Structure 1
């Protein structure tokens, strides 16, 4: 691994030389020397620094961005080599979009840990666009995203189907009785939707298009939990995965609005940057494709 880049990235992320030295088990003068040699090799300063702070300048931002990707490739290469004679073990960086990451992945990781305790996963949660970008930069080994995201530089493989519903507070007028709601009624309501880049936002926009509606009163929130709490309070309607609302449905805090055409469906997909896989990554993907944890949750939800 390129020690100069490792020292540089550590200094940037720790915010000063002394904390970086401690983290790297080096002396502070040695850290300073590595940075000076790196700057000399590029012929420019990379950091603005004084006694109080260390900050990236423009050149430093470029080096930092590419250094993260280079170090990620080093780690991945070493993991593949180390795995050749061994069983599945070691670090595994997993990214997932919010619905899968918050409501399915914890159960899946627990099951994987029982079978493969030597695999040490780290989890990053973000929207679909954010997770795909991290995989593209080699900062994640694998991503799990929602919807129809496309990128020619990534391998994207659908492996499971998700069901989504229009939901409202249990006291909302659209869920009283057994009425089937008219599309025109939906257009008049307040809608609470996810931010751009979210797989849930993509589905919501497709549903609006399929119904030929354009609600005037729309609020954009960046958290599924915040949306659920807001809908539960009676603020408006939303479209969410059944995985995200199973507890609220069981407790009668939220109800499904009976709309023609629902449930609306989308895919969960596995995202990879490279065809080379560590044994830990191979195990993770194989277990994921079996969908046992996912299907168990689905059946439990549909039976509640």
Structure 2
């Protein structure tokens, strides 16, 4: 049945029997036979078919969601058994929220590749909520998020601290001020913030609550890079991680605003689903813990 689910997933994602058959190195009639057998086993049709498209119906959506989880668990089971006799190797699916994933994770992956070239990582970048959900549904082996884990089904471990600063353009009027700026003054500024579910957004909201700050204008963007570019262009101010700001600080395009409560600190957190871990996961987690002093990793 595992093969039937893999074929079903391929058809669902490619929305086409021919493309799924090509990906699976099968004939189209064979793919159709697998789908028919699965539908008989489930007891209902899973796909809506026409000359132009193949798409999931409501039952198909349910089967697709669980099929992804079942296939992921099956692959993980095989890797765990294989690990008993072999060295660390094979696939490793890692999820990370934007700050860690874009600015820190590449350095850890480079260290891992140097020591364990037979491990083949696949990286997924998303906000903290998305990464938690993917780990919980077994679509990722391990995740790293920028706040505390809210999913009670997951194991979590805080391993490093991140410092965050309120930043402005080098041409902002505050750049000429040599004293601490008050939060009432910052309420008058346009704040550029991340979307709900983001660890950076969570930290921003926490800082607003801490100082009872109610900005009159908010702009919500789904990318840290876009926020940095917007702040540099003078659209507003933002709260961002020190790791996302290293280059901008070094060349002077962005500057810190001296304000009470900063740097604001938060934790980077590892999230996993199962206590049984492949050697590849174990190796990755050992490297993450070994380099929890991120300043020694990123130079």
Q: What TM-score does the superposition give when structure 2 sets the normalisation length? A: 0.98
CA drift of 1:293 comes to: 7.3
Aligned residues: 299
Q: 1:197 to 1:292 in 2, by over 3 A?
A: closer
Q: Give the aligned partner of residue 20 of structure 1.
A: 20
Paired with 1:246 and 1:287, the residues of 2 have a C-alpha distance of 22
Q: Give the aligned partner of residue 45 of structure 2.
A: 45
Is 2:235 the counterpart of 1:235?
A: yes
Q: 1:280 to 1:52 in 2, by over 3 A?
A: same
Q: Give the aligned partner of residue 111 of structure 1.
A: 111
Q: What TM-score does the superposition give when structure 1 sets the normalisation length? A: 0.96
Q: Secondary structure at the match of 1:133?
A: helix
Q: Give the aligned partner of residue 55 of structure 1.
A: 55
Is 2:74 the counterpart of 1:69?
A: no
CA drift of 1:125 comes to: 0.1
Paired with 1:211 and 1:23, the residues of 2 have a C-alpha distance of 55
Query: Please, which moves more after superposition, 264-273 or 20-29?
Result: 20-29
CA drift of 1:292 comes to: 5.9
Tell me the alpha carbon deviations over residues 238-278 of structure 1, each in whole angstroms, 9 at most, x when there is no partner: 00000001101111100000112210000000000000000
Q: Secondary structure at the match of 1:262?
A: coil
Q: Which runs of 5+ in 1 are unaligned?
A: none
Paired with 1:27 and 1:189, the residues of 2 have a C-alpha distance of 61
Question: What does 1:95-244 align with in structure 2 at a 5 Å threshold?
Answer: 95-244=95-244
Q: Secondary structure at the match of 2:32?
A: helix
CA drift of 1:177 comes to: 4.1
Paired with 2:122 and 2:178, the residues of 1 have a C-alpha distance of 45
Tell me the alpha carbon deviations over residues 77-123 of structure 1, each in whole angstroms, 9 at most, x when there is no partner: 01111111111100000000000000000111011100110000000
Q: Which runs of 5+ in 2 are unaligned?
A: none
| Contact residue 146 and residue 200 of structure 1 kept, 8 A | yes
